[in-house]
Each structure stands twice: as C-alpha cells, then as structure tokens.
Amino acid sequence: MARQFFVGGNFKANGTKSSITQIVENLNTQDLPKEVEVVVCPPSLYIDLVVKENKQPTVQVGAQNVFNKPCGAFTGELCAEQILDAGAKWTLTGHSERRTIIKESDEFIAEKTKYALDHGLSVILCIGETLEERKSGITLQVCARQLDAVSKIVSDWSKVVVAYEPVWAIGTGLAATPDDAQETHKEIREHLVKTIGKDQAEATRILYGGSVNGKNAVEFKDKPDIDGFLVGGASLKPEFVNIIKSRL
C-alpha cells in the first residue's frame, strides 16, 4: 500500500514572532513536493501567526499539546476547540518530553488522543523507548504498551500518524541506523495488525523521529515501513526543506 510521505516539524518551546515568521517565509518561497504532507507545530502562542503567514498548500499547522476535556477551568491547558478555532488541524500527543518531564501516563495520553480525534483534529501520536529500556531489550514492549492504551479506546485510526521516537536519540545527535529504525517500524506495524486490524495498520503512517537532519534523512528513503519524519531542532533551520525533499 502506498502511504503518503509525511514530515512533521516540532518547534518545541523555541522561537519568537520574528524567527518563526522567518521560518514560515522561507517555506513559502520553496518549491515543495506536492506529494509530501507537511505539518509544523509551533508553540501555542504562535499557532495563529503561522496559520496566517503560511502560503504553502502542502503545509498544515498543528499544536504541540492538547487537553482531554473541553474548554473550562483548566489553567494553562489548550483544548481541541481552541486549536481548531486558531486554524490548526493537527496536534501532537505523547511526545517523550510530555511523558518523561511532565509524567503523562499512557492512559492520559490515550484520552487526549481520543478527545482530539473526536473533536476534529488529526493526531501525531508519539511513542518510543528510553536508552535503559532499549538496553534491556524491551523496545517493542514499551511501544506496544503505549499504542495499546490508545487502541483500547480509539477504533478509527484514519486520522492518526504514529511517530516512533527513540528517547535516547532525541536532541542527542545520536540516531538509530536506517536498518535498526526499519526493523522497529516493521515490528510496530506488525503489532498494530494484531490490535487495529491489517487494513488500518497498513494504512497508518509511521514516522521516525530520532535526531533527523538534512544530511541523514536521505538514508531512510528506501525503508518500506518508514513513512516520513517527525523533526525537532532541524525544523527550525533551512535544512528542514532538505528533509521534506529527502524522498525525491
């Protein structure tokens, strides 16, 4: 099954009005491939800015986080209705920094994912293991546990993109080899076959998100179960365009 190549850019808590405007203006000037779906996730303060400045038809905007309840007395949170109202169509859930720093549980992430989907957002669901878990040989068990929390309460995965992010490779400059990443992606897809069915598993895009940059992205292009990238720091730089074009 041919799955559309997907590149996400997670700006994290970086940028100002000026620098983020420059990033978007640079994307606007590029001849981006029409067959690649791109989603950029700026800090929530700048979602409206990016939506207004974006002129690329293949680039959409997402939030970095979402709450599991409607708007109300939840200080500091961002609800799905507000994200949509600002013009964004996507949100991240389950990013390793939310799991490890904020201590979000698998169940809470699953609830946020379901609420976002139920209210019209598409979701980039992040999963992945720590270095200790990898050394212990439980990478697939960790990823399966994180996925299962979602599949227990979400039956329709048509608006879910999975991002496999080995925590040990985020922001460290380390990266899994293309063969290692492909093997893990293959195992993730095989697990999804068991939990959400073959058709949905084959249609679900699985992104790699471990220190991808403009130089190494092309090394992953021929791997059958790697359907794109979720990019962190490199999404703030001009090389983000090289990553978007890496499948060409």
Which residues does the annotation mark as catalytic?
A: 95, 165
Rounded Cα–Cα distance for residues 208 and 243 (Å): 12
Contact yes or no for 175/216 (Cβ under 8 A): yes
CB-based contacts of 78-82 (< 8 A; 24+ apart in sequence) = 78/44, 80/115, 80/116, 80/119, 80/120, 80/121, 81/119
162 closest CA partner among 133, 196, 119:
196
Alpha helices in the chain (DSSP H): 17-29, 47-53, 80-85, 96-100, 106-118, 131-135, 139-151, 178-196, 198-203, 240-244
Rounded Cα–Cα distance for residues 44 and 57 (Å): 21
Rounded Cα–Cα distance for residues 166 and 209 (Å): 7
228 beta partners = 6
- Residue 243 has a CB neighbour count (10 Å cut-off) of 26
23 closest CA partner among 53, 47, 48:
53
SS3 category, 229: strand
